[in-house]
Structure 1
Amino acid sequence: MSGGESTQQTGTRPPPAALRPAPRHAQWHWATPQAQLLLATGDLAAIMRFHRRVHGLNQTALGALLGYDKTYISALERGKRVLDDIGSRRRVCDALHLPPHVLGVTDPTDTDHRTMLQFGESTVRLAEIARQSGHASEAVAELWPLVARLEARLADGRAERDVLHLLARAQAGLGVALGNVLPEERLATAAHWTARSLEIAEYFRDPGLTSYALRMHGNELRKANLRGAAVPRLCRAAATAPDETARAAALPLLARAAGALGDGPLFDRVTREAKTLLTRVDHTSLFNPFSLCEIHLRGLVSTGRTDLAMRLVEHGPTAGIGVAPQWRVIELVTVAHVQLLADDRGGAAQSLDRAILEAAAQRLPHQLQRVMRIAGTGLPAQHAAASRSLDRIRSELAA
């Protein structure tokens, strides 16, 4: 009698809740490197033993989960019996939260899975382009449904390694995009999503993914004024970076957080290293002379060196083609702050007027709030204009 015809098979009903895998295990255990090597063999006996070990199940409990008795489970694990029929293999895959192809089952859901991954990868890339182009709201609109779909799959126990990697990047992208479009009082929401990305990244211990998630989360923590928590994460992002390109992506964010925290020595050290890498690493929307100059300006002001900041304003680089639109707004606000400190109210007012127009057009509430803080020291017209623009954005967000 074949495995598919055994009278010991009873699995027509789902197992009791007490015998189902814990949600955390169902989400993660098949995505580990060890499990990936095991699944590649398609060895059902080894797969069953691995599942029992991860979940602390004996053969009786696994049998109850699969709808077989202990004797049949033992025979399967020893290779004395096999599952020949497609229906039984499909049912085992469903109970253990495995992709059907692992046990040789051709399933339409596999095609759907590959399509979802291709769509998801494209969505993450296009959302990043939209955000860097000054369209963070569009990035949020694209990423939100993708994250919801991937998390629903995860909750259902369908969490292959490639799904989790995609989810981590989508969550980080969503958090960063939200960090652009939300006002300061709601920036904790952005940090929430980057924290979820970091949880997945740290599980895999992939240096590149971990460094990426750490720098995204650290920067959102800084923006949410959790600077003491931001700096250690950004230090780890730089230390974990697998190459100079990844380190160059982390250093500007670490410099900004160190400056905001008032840690002058760390700020100076990181800024110097970032500038040396400019000659060896390809420039990006974040890592380029213009962005580093703005970060340097703000850090000098935060660490009490206004005189150096004033000189830097006079000799700083102009924005190049590769600079993201939001960085032009960020730089205008920072320059206005330095101009006010130098008692150049006319120059500061002009810089803030331009910043307000651009921040409103790009829907950057956090930058409008920066304008209001700076203008509050003696530029009432600019303060009022920024406040009106911020109110319009808040009304749209509420709607």
Structure 2
Amino acid sequence: MVRIDPYGGIRWHWTTPKAQDILRRRALPEILQLYRDLHGLPQQELADLLGYSTSYVSRIETGSRTITDIGVLRHIAERLGLPPHCFGITDDADGDHQLVIQLAESVLRLAEIARQAGQATTAVAELWPLVARLEARTADGHTDLDTLRLLARARIGLGVALGHVLPEERLATAARWTGKGLSVARRLGDPGLHAHALRHHGNELRKSGFHPRALDRLGQARDTASTTTERAEAVILLARAAGAAGNAAVFDEAVEDGRRLLNEVAPSALFSEFTLHEVRLRGLMGTGRVAEAVRQLDQAPAAGLAATSQWRIIAAITAGEVLLRQGDATGAAQQLTAAVDGATLHRLPHQLQRVVRAGRRLPEVQGRANDALARLRAEIAA
């Protein structure tokens, strides 16, 4: 368990393996001793906090006095800021806590499904109240590991969803939310959650233009990945970030790593032959190898069932950019117009901003993108 101060700083002592083992065993003598160690309290001060005599507390700590009275256990739990279930007490509040956990899991799953289906605004609408409720529960002392894991995942999910629906000038908000999720995840001793947080925070940093920090987070995600799937998802995002930063060495290494992993990992919404090809095209452009990007354009694989609407829109914009460099204005206009229609349907303002930049030599397409962007900005402002 942890305490949270009014400024959002978390004291993580109760999340350590030692503390979790003590809490799991409901070892009251060790709980009291650990509490005193964490807070630097002499036995007298702990006795004052609990409202008992020093000799009574001493007998509890040595195990010569066993506490079985539910009222006493509930009192100690309240004074130490621990939920009653740490002492084997099940009450209405604990039941409510379990309900929150179950509902939160459902909300997180549904929000992810909505986002993958191109309905990121729905995901934001679902996640925002969940995050607020979990933040409130942690502030009230309901900070067991399940709640903290949910809080980390909800913060990350909200940041990723916001990263879909906010315009570029506001994407730092998405990066802040994924960063808040990472701050929890890195402390919980859960490698999979930590890698998940690093990947998404790094990607939102990339979108916000914080390239060195993005490369750092995504490099950590790749290096600490415990499964091939985790590594594949980190590698493709690292390639995107390196291409955006113009770092050809890191980009080439990540793309080559991704090619090897294509034979080891089942296609997903994030990592597939289709998405890796798009990332490679954009990265080649970003690292000054336009001719190579043009040569690779015709080798685009089919999108496949795993490709989301957003990835198809992203790929269309990238193809339009390459075609413009090739001198094919007609083909570029077709790709970028399709991207405008898709970005408008799925309410993706920063993809429209990409079209506006890419379509400078296509005034009709650029105007269409600007009009759609203005409508989305008005909706966001409202």
- TM-score between both structures, scaled by the size of structure 2: 0.96
Q: Are residues 1:396 and 2:379 paired?
A: yes
Which stretch shows the higher mean deviation, 238-247 or 24-33?
A: 24-33
Q: For residue 387 of structure 1, what is the aligned residue in structure 2? A: 370
Q: For residue 235 of structure 1, what is the aligned residue in structure 2? A: 219
State the 1:21 CA deviation: 6.5
Q: Deviations over 1:176-209 (max 9, x none)?
A: 0000000001001100111111111111232211
Counterpart pick for 1:64 among 45, 48, 58: 48
Counterpart pick for 1:79 among 63, 72, 80: 63
Q: Deviations over 1:127-184 (max 9, x none)?
A: 1111111010111111111111111111112200111111111111110000000000
Counterpart pick for 1:115 among 68, 85, 99: 99
Counterpart pick for 2:262 among 278, 282, 285: 278
User: Contact conserved, 1:32 with 1:161, CA < 8 A, in 2?
Assistant: no
Q: For residue 305 of structure 1, what is the aligned residue in structure 2? A: 289
The alignment yields a C-alpha RMSD, in angstroms, of: 1.6
Report the residue type matching 1:107 in the other structure.
D
Q: For residue 332 of structure 2, what is the aligned residue in structure 1? A: 348
Write the distance in 1 (CA, Å) between the matches of 2:124 and 2:12: 26
Q: How does 1:139-218 map to 2 (within 5 A)?
A: 139-218=123-202
Write the distance in 2 (CA, Å) between the matches of 1:26 and 1:169: 17
State the 1:25 CA deviation: 8.8
Counterpart pick for 2:313 among 286, 310, 329: 329
Unaligned ranges ≥5, structure 2: none
User: Contact conserved, 1:30 with 1:161, CA < 8 A, in 2?
Assistant: no
State the 1:261 CA deviation: 0.8
Q: Deviations over 1:300-322 (max 9, x none)?
A: 00011111111111121121111
User: Contact conserved, 1:375 with 1:382, CA < 8 A, in 2?
Assistant: yes
Write the distance in 2 (CA, Å) between the matches of 1:320 and 1:361: 21
User: Contact conserved, 2:4 with 2:141, CA < 8 A, in 1?
Assistant: no
Larger CA Rg, structure 1 vs 2 = 1
State the 1:392 CA deviation: 0.9
State the 1:26 CA deviation: 7.2
Write the distance in 1 (CA, Å) between the matches of 2:3 and 2:44: 14
Counterpart pick for 2:235 among 251, 256, 260: 251
Report the residue type matching 1:358 in the other structure.
G
User: Contact conserved, 1:63 with 1:70, CA < 8 A, in 2?
Assistant: yes
Write the distance in 2 (CA, Å) between the matches of 1:161 and 1:363: 35
Unaligned ranges ≥5, structure 1: 1-19
Write the distance in 1 (CA, Å) between the matches of 2:366 and 2:246: 26
Identity %: 50
Q: Are residues 1:96 and 2:80 paired?
A: yes
State the 1:68 CA deviation: 2.1
3-state SS of 2:236 partner: helix
3-state SS of 1:204 partner: coil
User: Contact conserved, 1:30 with 1:159, CA < 8 A, in 2?
Assistant: no
Which stretch shows the higher mean deviation, 324-333 or 195-204?
A: 195-204
Q: For residue 5 of structure 1, what is the aligned residue in structure 2? A: none
Q: For residue 9 of structure 1, what is the aligned residue in structure 2? A: none
Q: 1:84 to 1:318 in 2, by over 3 A?
A: closer
Write the distance in 1 (CA, Å) between the matches of 2:3 and 2:321: 56
Q: Are residues 1:367 and 2:351 paired?
A: yes
Q: Which runs of 4+ in 1 moved over 6 A?
A: none
- TM-score between both structures, scaled by the size of structure 1: 0.92
Q: For residue 6 of structure 1, what is the aligned residue in structure 2? A: none
User: Contact conserved, 1:27 with 1:154, CA < 8 A, in 2?
Assistant: no
State the 1:342 CA deviation: 0.8
Number of aligned residue pairs: give it: 379
